[in-house]
Amino acid sequence: MSLAAADPVALAQSLIRCPSVTPDEAGALSVLEEVLAPAGFTVHRMTFSEPGTPDVENLYARIGGAGPNVCFAGHTDVVPPGDTAQWTFPPFAAEIRDGVLYGRGAVDMKGAIACFVAAALGHLERCGGQLGGSISLLITGDEEGPSINGTAKVLDWLRERGERLDACVVGEPSNPHAIGDEIKIGRRGSLNGELVVFGKQGHAAYPHLADNPIPKLARIIDRLSTTPLDEGTPDFEPSSLQVTVISAPNTATNVIPSEARAKFNIRYNDLHRRPGVEEWVRQQCTAAAEEVGARWSVSFSGTGDVFLTRPGPLVDTMTEAVRAVVGRVPRLSTSGGTSDARFIQAYCPVIEFGLVNETIHQVDERVPLSDLHTLTAVYERFLEQFFTRAAGS
Ligand SMILES: [Zn+2]
């Protein structure tokens, strides 16, 4: 193992220089394989397919044959850079200025992957190969996209092989301002809905001969938007429904359209599961539609059910590692969007801890080199504590 390979900054630069916008691998998984295989990891590369979605490459690497198997999960795919002219440096150049590394994926989340690899290699070096279990990496190229040919299918593959994960850290950028702010111990569920209200097309001057669906749609979405689902729980914010799109297939101001549509997104807490949320929506639609005499239908999509990893060994170990390195006790949070942790939670306890999320998906996404070193130290301390604790139990 070369020293350069264990340097999180050099590794983050190598990863950023692969323009791996979803679903392109662009060499990013090869960069990891070239570091992990010589260090003794068994590396599996797998491509998954599904009709109607692009093929996506994924990687699972493991060192050690015994349990417990602590897994680090992440994604090498990135969102598009947008207008590259607005960037201070080209988005895939991985330039460093004044101690800050610029590039798409610097914090979401090639930087954290580099930190974890560096921490794992550092830990292996210190324990002289006497690992108290196994370390694995589950890296997908399909987190920012449809998330169909990524983590969910790697987990199926692991299950078929009888490969067990005992604990998982997802390296998503969990910290609002500084490393050590927050560990994510859960996520709200996310559900998309589309409501269609049916009417009858006609001339705007002869409304009695038509049936305008737009005011009826408005009444229904008003009820959906203003009826609280709940008041929150000790671990979660109140659930929320946000209408995000309204449309009618119509361009003429003198024509009443035959239908009107609204799309909405619901973020729901641990008082609910998806079937209950769908039922709640139908009840609200039924009640509002009865008042205005609307014909309607609703359909749902979305894969992210709510989860919560209760405080326990995994949360405690990361909390202790953060406290030891940065001298602060992180908040345990469930706010923010979904991540692949929503798939992993069905297999083992999972938390998220990574870099600072202030510049994710933005022009000039960037990370201070000091953050990369701090996060590497936190992960290394976490691995040490994790195996110490496992040996003692
Ligand atoms: Zn991410």
Catalytic residues: 77, 143
- C-alpha 108 – ligand 1 centre gap (Å): 5
Question: What is residue 253's predicted lDDT score, i.e. its pLDDT?
Answer: 95
- C-alpha 113 – ligand 1 centre gap (Å): 11
Closest CA to 174 of 187, 160, 193: 187
Burial of 90 (C-beta count, 10 Å sphere; 0-12/13-18/19+) = middle
Question: What is residue 46's predicted lDDT score, i.e. its pLDDT?
Answer: 96
Give mean pLDDT, residues 125-143. Answer: 93
- C-alpha 149 – ligand 1 centre gap (Å): 16
pLDDT over 70 at 175, yes or no: yes
Label residue 303 by pLDDT band (50, 70, 90). Answer: low
pLDDT over 50 at 317, yes or no: yes
Bridge partners for 268 per DSSP = 189
- C-alpha 71 – ligand 1 centre gap (Å): 17
- C-alpha 340 – ligand 1 centre gap (Å): 9
- C-alpha 312 – ligand 1 centre gap (Å): 25
- C-alpha 291 – ligand 1 centre gap (Å): 44
* Whole-prediction pTM: 0.86
pLDDT over 70 at 196, yes or no: yes
- C-alpha 368 – ligand 1 centre gap (Å): 18
pLDDT tens profile 328-351 = 999 999 988 778 999 999 999 999
The residues, ordered by sequence, that sit 6+ positions from 189 with a Cβ below 8 Å of its Cβ are 266, 267, 268, 269, 272, 273, 274, 277, 302, 304, 305, 306, 338
Question: What is residue 3's predicted lDDT score, i.e. its pLDDT?
Answer: 41
Give mean pLDDT, residues 120-137. Answer: 94
Question: What is residue 216's predicted lDDT score, i.e. its pLDDT?
Answer: 98
Could you give the angle at the alpha carbon of 330 between the alpha carbons of 326 and 333, nearest 5°? Answer: 150
Tell me how far apart the terminal alpha carbons of the chain are, to the nearest angstrom. 32
pLDDT over 60 at 4, yes or no: no
pLDDT over 60 at 261, yes or no: yes
Question: What is residue 146's predicted lDDT score, i.e. its pLDDT?
Answer: 81
Question: What is residue 147's predicted lDDT score, i.e. its pLDDT?
Answer: 84
Question: What is residue 2's predicted lDDT score, i.e. its pLDDT?
Answer: 45
Cβ neighbours around 324 below 10 Å, total: 14
Question: What is residue 6's predicted lDDT score, i.e. its pLDDT?
Answer: 77
pLDDT over 70 at 45, yes or no: yes
- C-alpha 97 – ligand 1 centre gap (Å): 24
The torsion angle over the Cα atoms of residues 249, 250, 251 and 255, rounded to 10 degrees, is: 180
pLDDT over 50 at 355, yes or no: yes
The number of residues making up the chain comes to: 393
| Arithmetic mean of pLDDT over the chain | 95
- C-alpha 323 – ligand 1 centre gap (Å): 24
Q: What percent of the chain has pLDDT over 70?
A: 98
- C-alpha 77 – ligand 1 centre gap (Å): 8
